[in-house]
Amino acid sequence: DEAYVEVNIDPNDCNNDIYDFVKSLAEHIRADIVKKTECTASIGIGPNKLLAKLAADKIKPNGCYVCRDWKELLRGLDLRDIPGVGWKSERKLEPCGLRTVADVWDLNDEAETVLGEIIGLGNAQKIVKYCFGKDDRPVTPAVRKSIGAECNYGVRFDGPYGVDYMMQGLAKEVETRMAGAEIRGSKLTLKVMKSKDTTKVPGKFLGHGSCHNLSKSI
């Protein structure tokens, strides 16, 4: 449900106010999405993939945010908000007094060395770069390998609609997407999420909670 788009702009096309220009462009895209899909979308705009993603995260679930200053965007973020910092890294960093992006800033030139001793040099170099708003990953087209449809939020079968109704709806959606892409399939995969404990209420409203992920291909 996320995508990156690289936009190259001639300054002469935006009256020297590139921030207002790109925000206007993004709002047109969001309006088109709503018109064609009846779904809202959030767009983050920045000079690289990291800052664009963090900008989108900041404005979700329905808005547009332009990153004008990387430090302003990252200030106040936890390290857990930075791509690549999972719960395992978080558990190692927190006891060492490293919980926020600002904590890494405070280390100055020693940041890579300090983090490297905790989570390894390779991860440390990447995370420190991200903490200073740097990201040289290119935007590359993704090759479509499959077409599918999933629904794992708000699914309840204790009402008037059962499993058959849901399966028919998902099948119809896959058919529509394949027709739009003008392709035919060679394999069918069915994925099912089975609750590990049906007696527990999921922590997220209408969520699925902890599940076993099952799949079968034919």
Catalytic residues: 2
Contacts 24+ apart (CB under 8 A), 72-79: 73/46, 73/133, 74/101, 74/131, 74/133, 75/101, 75/102, 76/100, 76/101, 76/102, 77/101, 79/103, 79/104, 79/127, 79/131
Query: Which of the 8 DSSP states describes residue 133?
Result: T
Three-state SS annotation for 85-123: CCHHHHHHHHHHCCCEHHHHHCCHHHHHHHHHHHHCHHH
Identity of the amino acid at 101: V
Residues in the chain, total: 218
Question: Which residue shows structure tokens 């702009």?
Answer: 9
Within the chain, where are the H helices?
A: 18-37, 49-59, 70-74, 87-93, 101-105, 111-119, 121-131, 163-181
Strand-pair category, 211-217 with 43-45: unpaired
Whether residue 103 contacts residue 82, with contact meaning beta carbons closer than 8 Å, is answered with no
